[in-house]
Chain A
Amino acid sequence: MARRTFDIRAQPGFGFMALLTFFALYLPIAALVAYSFNAAESLSRWDGLSLRWFASAWNNSTVQDAAIRSLVLAVWAATLATIVATMAALATTRTRPYPGLTFKYAFINQPLMVPEIVTAVALLIVFSRIKVWTGYSGMGYLILAHTAFCIPFAYLPIRGRLEDMDLTMERAAADLYATPWKTFRYVTLPLLRPAIIAGFMLAFVISLDDVVITEFVKSGGQDTLPTYMLGQLRRETSPEINAIATVFLALSVLLVTVFFFVNRRKT
């Protein structure tokens, strides 16, 4: 006599709400992607499938410039942030508490605590002055600002990995007469590599996605892809924006997927 089992994990309606939530999470993205294949002149009509807006975005020199600028900026910021974050992580882990340690934690995580718009206008105030004083208005400001808010994102996975590592390996290397540099180069660094890659990728995505701080720090003609899109959204939008967004989206999904599988292999 089979009795229906009582599932202690079930809660009425939760499954439905969850599926509704997943549907709601992906519906807007699906709509965005669908409209990028729209053949019509504007977003208010649907004229069938076409790749014309992808071609038009690809041939738009402003979009090309913005895309290249975004990538260059993200590479610079993520590289610099990862280097200094690795150093900072080495300096703040595997030690007894020392004076200033909590201060360093607070300092490094500060960019996460302050609303982006506040940091953005504060940077506008300072950098606009410096731009007048020095006459320099190049990419340096953007690289500096991006590096600063990327540091906590690069720092977190590296610090996490270091906290799981003890000093046994390094001590063994030192016992075998390795210099501190050699110990770092041939022992610590290889052990840290997955975390450094994870940190770099996080920083890269964060830099690539930023719109608020970039919008306030950039000088004329320094649009990145997100600020270009923000500017376009103010006007009557053509499906070209959808095409750009779709490509951007595909890139993000690709990065997240790679990140996901790299991290999973580790555990």
Chain B
Amino acid sequence: MAAVTQSFQRTRRQKLQVFRAVIFVVAGLFFLVPLFAMFEFTTRGRLLTDPRSLDAWKSIATYPDLIAAIVASVELAAITSFAMLVLLVPTMVWVRLRLRRLNRIIEFICLLPLTIPAIVLVVGLVPMYQWMGINFSDSILTLAFAYVVLVLPYCYRALDAGLSAIDVKTLSEAARSLGASWFTVMVQVIVPNISSAILNACFLSVALVLGEYTIAQNLLYNNLQVEIALLGRANAGVSIAVSAASLLFAFVLLVLLSLFNRGRGRLRLDDLKQVMRTERG
């Protein structure tokens, strides 16, 4: 009987492994084939008989408008992430500590941009940006105001998950009773314990800003995506090379994030055994 059960379990395990491998291969192909196609397209010569070359990749640097757009988009990503964190983290912590009844309202406000199409947002933003262009600045970096609104729903969810994983109230009160100011509570107690959530929020924010097209195009700013679209009409090879590069950049960010997360908060088996022994003793 035991042998039959073991054999059944072994067969089941093998089937599961095959299923996992198939899913892994299919998902891998789904992601890699377009990337490969992009790379293949960007390395083609002018004629089918021409040898492969990296000219399209090399010539990225020769387009000053493209470089300016890349720099602007990276700056926008950094400013948006920073502004989002400064706005969201203290607000969400404070709501959890003192204004719990406002939790639903804050959540609703933060998720609202998700329900509004980008083009509708633009309609609302145009008069604001006209006013800002005259009275404040017409720099592309002012797009960060709009982008902070745009990334709110995603970053709110990421930070909410992080804050839900810790007892914000007890940790804050413990730190306060030990003499910490509210600033110290935030910087030395809350932030280190939601660092993964903060990284997740930043990553989402960076990915969103690097991929944003509609708002920039309609407000007449040339960010990375707008420039790629413009370039696509003049030189498809370079345009696709830049797209592939921005995808790779996002991919590297994701890998770094998962590596960082993996190194945190691991409980070793030996420690667990030691804890149980001490508890029994």
Chain A complexes with chain B: no
A residues within 8 Å of B by Cβ? none
B residues within 8 Å of A by Cβ? none
